[in-house]
Structure 1
Amino acid sequence: MADDRRLWLLRHGATEWARIGRHTGRTDIPLLPEGETEARQLAPVLTQEHFSAVFSSPLQRARRTCELGGLGGTMTVMKDLQEWDYGDYEGITTPEIRRTVPDWNVFTHGCPNGEDAAAVQKRCETVIRIALKTPGDGDVALFAHGHLLRALAGTWLGLGAIGGRLLMLSTGSVCMLGFEHGNHAIVRWNAPANGRF
């Protein structure tokens, strides 16, 4: 595969739990009305692009973002794009966790009865491998979740999933990973979902 393919990372639109900072891993909650608006704002840009493949997390917030973003007709569900498994920390905020684990960070500490960065990195490596080997000459769109996409970017850059701790990612945002003189690079990060990027 030529080193001109870009991976478009598309975080789902706003949800109730995302708005208040509750860790939303496998809980399958819907988009808020403003999350649906964010997703619709992706369509003017995404529908003008040629994608060799469009993959989405199986969770409804990612699939619905893909649909409203105009790419639902070509979407393939990919289980490895599911959000981090927060285990015992599902539905809990970081400040609540830090009451008992003062320096807790999902990237450095992982989650009891859930995933750690090493497990998430393996999934990210699988996603990247599939995206790069997808036939065709277009880019690949990946609809997923905040921590997973940050971990994927860290993995892409050679920092491992833990490298995602250095990146912020808003709901309904667009990011692009690509190549610079053969090296993995960030092309665009955390662009707003209003088509003006």
Structure 2
Amino acid sequence: MTATELWLVRHGATEWSNAGRHTSTTDMPLLPEGEETARALGARLAAVDFRLVLTSPRRRARHTAELSGFADAEVTEDLAEWAYGDYEGLTTPEIRATVPGWTVWSHPSPAGETAAEVAARLDRVVERAREGGGRTLAFAHGHSLRVLAARWLGLPAEDGRLLRLDTATVSALGFERESPVVLRWNA
């Protein structure tokens, strides 16, 4: 059996991801260049044997999975992006105009999710990936994948702030002996 690993793919570029707009529940399509990079991911992932392939229900993640060669990925709400509530569609500078110093990692998002709520969802993904061994592949979003990595490492959700994650990138988490580690990040 292959070592237990969790591979992460952030969706391709969208209009809002390029503009730095917080995008959770708004179901943005991929831009043409986002589709192109998603197709290119397929070549990087084709040679890897995945026991389980999961995707966020959002169109941008599902389409990235499809274009990468994983049209049959299991859809799970647990991989949805952090719900930003009243801050949906806003940029960080726009939010900071009324809440100085705001970050999703350190301040609440009115009518949105808390870090603890996001962590609880992503802990279920970690559990699923670890329970069967082998490699799991997850297609999702910038903040949710950063929280997922933090939780894999046994860190609080807020420590996802330490892990920059660009669109259409591949990251991998695994183990060194019994310690959870980052194998590759933002590649």
The reply to whether residue 142 of structure 1 matches residue 141 of structure 2 is no
Specify the alignment match of 1:109 in structure 2: 107
Specify the alignment match of 2:48 in structure 1: 49
**Which contiguous aligned blocks of 4+ residues in structure 1 show a shift greater than 3 angstroms?**
none
Specify the alignment match of 1:194 in structure 2: none
Partner Cα distance (2:2, 2:108) in 1:
33
The reply to whether residue 167 of structure 1 matches residue 124 of structure 2 is no
Partner Cα distance (2:117, 2:2) in 1:
27
Single out whichever of 100-109 and 15-24 deviates more from structure 2: 100-109
Specify the alignment match of 1:8 in structure 2: 7
**Shift in Å at residue 3 of structure 1?**
8.8
**Shift in Å at residue 133 of structure 1?**
1.9
Whether the 8 Å contact between 1:3 and 1:182 is mirrored in structure 2 is: no
Measured against aligned partners, the alpha-carbon deviations of 1:31-59 in whole angstroms (never above 9, x if no partner) come to 00000011011111211110001000011
Partner Cα distance (1:51, 1:113) in 2:
36
Partner Cα distance (1:155, 1:177) in 2:
11
Pair 3,183 (structure 1): closer, same or farther in 2 beyond 3 Å: farther
Number of residues paired by the alignment?
187
Alignment of 1:115-194 (within 5 A): 115-134=113-132, 138-191=134-187
- After TM superposition, the score normalised by the length of structure 2 is 0.97
Identity of aligned residues (%): 53
Whether the 8 Å contact between 1:169 and 1:190 is mirrored in structure 2 is: yes
Single out whichever of 154-163 and 177-186 deviates more from structure 2: 154-163
**Shift in Å at residue 124 of structure 1?**
1.1
Counterpart code for 1:80: D
Q: CA RMSD in A?
A: 1.3
- After TM superposition, the score normalised by the length of structure 1 is 0.92
| Gaps in structure 1 of 5+ consecutive residues | 192-197
| Gaps in structure 2 of 5+ consecutive residues | none
